[in-house]
């Protein structure tokens, strides 16, 4: 007898059972190999230069998969999401808005007033 799939996914009927199986089988346990070099992913946060889209979600998903896979291989794996590299992209966007809307540069404002923007 075939069981028909439900029309709508009901997570409460599946996820608890699957999560319990993962815990029981040690899927969340890492066994670090001291002979392997550390593995690290450092990613910048999304910035003001563009709109968020599905590519951002895909990129984060791939990094998550990769770091988990490396942990499973015994690496001391560290994923550091959301670090910024001096805010250059944000600075450029603020400067563009200043020039376009007010005809000013960051030099016209001075450092402190520019940082307030």
Q: Digits of tens for pLDDT over the chain (117 positions)?
A: 688 888 999 999 899 999 999 999 988 887 899 999 999 988 766 655 667 788 878 888 999 999 999 998 999 999 887 766 667 777 888 899 999 999 999 999 988 888 887
User: What local confidence, expressed as pLDDT, does residue 47 receive?
Assistant: 59
Query: What does the DSSP assignment read for 15-63?
Result: HHHHHHHHHHTTTT-----TTSPPEEEEEPPP-TTS---HHHHHHHHHH
Q: Domain coordinates of the chain in residue numbers?
A: 34-116
pTM above 0.75, yes or no: no
Report the pLDDT value the prediction gives residue 116, as an integer from 0 to 100: 81
d(CA 88, CA 25): 45
What is the pLDDT at residue 54? 85
């Amino acid at each position: 007898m075939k069981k028909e799939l439900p029309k709508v996914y009901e997570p409460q009927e599946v996820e608890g059972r699957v999560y319990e199986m993962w815990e029981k089988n040690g899927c969340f346990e890492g066994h670090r190999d001291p002979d392997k070099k550390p593995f690290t992913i450092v990613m910048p946060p999304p910035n003001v230069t563009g709109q968020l889209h599905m590519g951002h979600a895909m990129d984060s998903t791939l990094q998550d998969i990769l770091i988990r896979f490396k942990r499973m291989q015994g690496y001391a794996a560290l994923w550091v999401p959301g670090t910024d590299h001096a805010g250059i992209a944000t600075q450029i966007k603020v400067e563009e808005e200043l020039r376009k809307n007010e005809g000013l540069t960051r030099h016209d404002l001075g450092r402190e007033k520019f940082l307030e923007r």
